Amino acid sequence: MSTVNNDCFVIDGKLALPYQYFAGRTGSRFIISIRDEKKIRGLKCEKCGKVFVPPRSTCERCFEDISENWVDVKNTGVVTGFTIIRYKEPHQPFDPPYILAMVKLDGADTPLAHIVKGVALSKMKTGIKVKAVFAKKTTGTIMDIDHFRVVDDKPKFEMGYSYDELEVGMSASFSKTISETDVYLFAGISGDFNPMHMNEEFAKLTPFGTRIAHGALPQSLIAPVLGTKLPGLGTVIPEITVRFKRPTYFGDTITATGEVVEKIDKKRWVRMELNWTNQNDELVAVGSCLAIPPAPFK
């Protein structure tokens, strides 16, 4: 066996390199206010108005010394860029995958790099709103902000059409089959145990020849139309009139429909025509109402 050829052995090893990094006066004050007060502060240049977070003692634009101009910024902000960490390295704060993002806090002009949680990786995008979650156990590092959590900026409730959005001719409906159970529940709600609704033998003696639903029962089916569809959530109905045309029998399917017929500019209310039909398209009732549409979102 020859040892002449020049094999090159490679031996893997690791050097541990403990070190200390002095955060400086500016960086220290930044971290301390997060650790002790749960407040995020930046430095503001009075000359150009820029607020730096993380703070820096000199304005990069004006070269002004701004090291004493501390201002509070909000702990909410917007993601301006991000990457998804997918490989594992021992120095990482936790196991991948996770999102590392640039977060521009409200009130700041420069972004801060941090972890974002609370969103599926596939749904992550720039422009998403986030809020700082402070660490329960402080370490005197930037990880005293534990992470930024995505906040839902959708309105809590999907309000209905405002006056300006409503147009004459818009309509909406709601349908429901009226069962014997509905009639019994309605008798309980209203206290109206009239035998024409409850007692078949009595009802045979009436002009209808059988039990019918309370008039207010099909009438009430307009409430989900006005209150949740048109105009929708936030609507107030100051006036409603109904004329009954035909009884509602057990098992009838009633469709309540509302249509905008007039916009009353002076009051910013609308007038709506209402009708109720059964499964045979027979008119059960007609009516009208005034509706005060919801105010637009603030």
Interacting span for Zn ion (CB under 5 A) from 19-27, 46-54, 151-159, 182-190: 46-54
The minimum distance between CB 106 and Zn ion, in angstroms, equals 20
The minimum distance between CB 77 and Zn ion, in angstroms, equals 21
The minimum distance between CB 103 and Zn ion, in angstroms, equals 22
Nearer to Zn ion, 37 or 46 (CB): 46
Tokens of 157: 């409730």
Q: Is 283 in the site for Zn ion (CB under 5 A)?
A: no
Interacting span for Zn ion (CB under 5 A) from 54-62, 157-165, 168-176, 189-197: 54-62
Length of the chain, in residues? 298
Q: Which residue has the tokens 């139309």?
A: 225
Nearer to Zn ion, 53 or 284 (CB): 53
Beta strands across the sheet bearing 41-44 = 51-52, 41-44, 70-72
Nearer to Zn ion, 62 or 185 (CB): 62
d(CA 230, CA 282): 23
Q: Is 51 in the site for Zn ion (CB under 5 A)?
A: no
d(CA 215, CA 207): 15
Nearer to Zn ion, 73 or 285 (CB): 73
What is the DSSP track for 249-295?
BTT-EEEEEEEEEEEETTTTEEEEEEEEE-TT--EEEEEEEEEEPPP
Q: Is 46 in the site for Zn ion (CB under 5 A)?
A: no
Bridge partners of residue 105, in order along the sequence: 77
Q: Is 62 in the site for Zn ion (CB under 5 A)?
A: yes
Nearer to Zn ion, 61 or 204 (CB): 61
Nearer to Zn ion, 48 or 295 (CB): 48
Closest to 273 (Cα-Cα) out of 258, 254, 256: 258
Nearer to Zn ion, 110 or 228 (CB): 110
Number of chain residues interacting with Zn ion (CB under 5 A): 6
Nearer to Zn ion, 47 or 117 (CB): 47
The minimum distance between CB 58 and Zn ion, in angstroms, equals 9
Q: Is 48 in the site for Zn ion (CB under 5 A)?
A: yes
* Positive or negative: CA dihedral 179, 185, 190, 193: positive
The minimum distance between CB 44 and Zn ion, in angstroms, equals 9
> Which residues from 6-45 bind Zn ion, rule CB under 5 A?
45
Tokens of 163: 């006056």
Tokens of 56: 């820096």
- Amino acid residing at 94: F
Query: In this structure, are residues 45 and 71 in contact, taking their beta carbons and an 8 Å threshold?
Result: no
Please pick, from the candidates 24, 36, 37, 47, the single residue that binds Zn ion as defined by CB under 5 A: 47
Q: Which residue has the tokens 């700082």?
A: 132
Closest to 145 (Cα-Cα) out of 30, 20, 21, 23: 30
List of residues contacting Zn ion (CB under 5 A): 45, 47-48, 59, 61-62
